[in-house]
Amino acid sequence: MPRVGVLALQGDVREHAALLERLGADVLRVRRPEEFTAVDGLLIPGGESSVIDKLARMFGLADPIRAAIRDGMPVFGTCAGLIMLADRLVDAIEGQQTFGGLDVTVRRNAFGRQVDSFEGPVAVPALGDQPVHAAFIRGPVVETVGPEATALATLQDGSVVAVEQGNLLGISFHPEISGETRFHDRFLQRVASRS
């Protein structure tokens, strides 16, 4: 089994690592460039995107992650991880950067404050007929999907909440909280097929 990394700078690292391990993955928590070089794929968890950005630059991970994305490494971002994979942000804080790679424009905290969090079924045809049980916690939405990316899931109001492009996968919600495994499976299949 290829080794997958969970970017362990901030956010719900433990939950993603536990879910990936339950699925049989060899998981490494990535905090330093030398740890990043030891993985075949990377999961970027939810958390606070501006903090993840600052810490990734501070610990020397931002440029290696950008280079790996350009080289085709499978990367899966949830919530703040989706923000970090976006090429464009609508409401970034001053100086905020992303790793990029997804040809999308993302709006941070599009669903409001923590008290506005909600759960519900989301249809994701690429994952089968059974809807995904999605937990949205201060989640982003994809405002525009460029020609290189593909929308995988859209809410009834038209908000795009899951996208992919090549080996990149980004979603607005938290499957590690709701027990949904199909996105993690999709990510692991990409890692295995590239290794």
Summarised one tens digit per residue, pLDDT across range 180-190 is 999 999 999 99
Tokens of 148: 């290189």
- Residue 136 bridge partners (DSSP): 118
Q: Which of 4, 1, 90 is nearest to 49 (CA)?
A: 90
**119 is a catalytic site residue:** no
Active-site option among 119, 133, 143, 174:
174
Tokens of 31: 């905090």
**21 is a catalytic site residue:** no
Are residues 161 and 172 in contact, defined by beta-carbon separation less than 8 angstroms?
A: yes
Q: Using one digit for the tens of pLDDT, what is the confidence trace for 20-64?
A: 999 999 999 999 999 999 999 999 999 999 999 999 999 999 999
Cα–Cα distance between 134 and 94 in angstroms, integer?
30
Cα–Cα distance between 81 and 173 in angstroms, integer?
10
**16 is a catalytic site residue:** no
- Looking at the chain, the number of H-run helices and the number of E-run strands are 7, 12
User: Can you give the CATH number for the domain in which 35 is found?
Assistant: 3.40.50.880
Tokens of 11: 């956010």
Active-site option among 16, 79, 164, 180:
79
Q: Annotate 105-140 with DSSP letters as a single string.
A: EEETTTT-SGGG-EEEEE--GGG-SSPEEEEESS--
Average pLDDT, the chain: 92
Q: Using one digit for the tens of pLDDT, what is the confidence trace for 148-174?
A: 999 999 988 888 999 999 999 999 998
Cα–Cα distance between 2 and 14 in angstroms, integer?
19
Name the residue range of residue 188's domain: 3-194
Q: State pTM to two decimals.
A: 0.94
Active-site option among 164, 176, 180, 184:
176
Q: How many domains in the chain?
A: 1
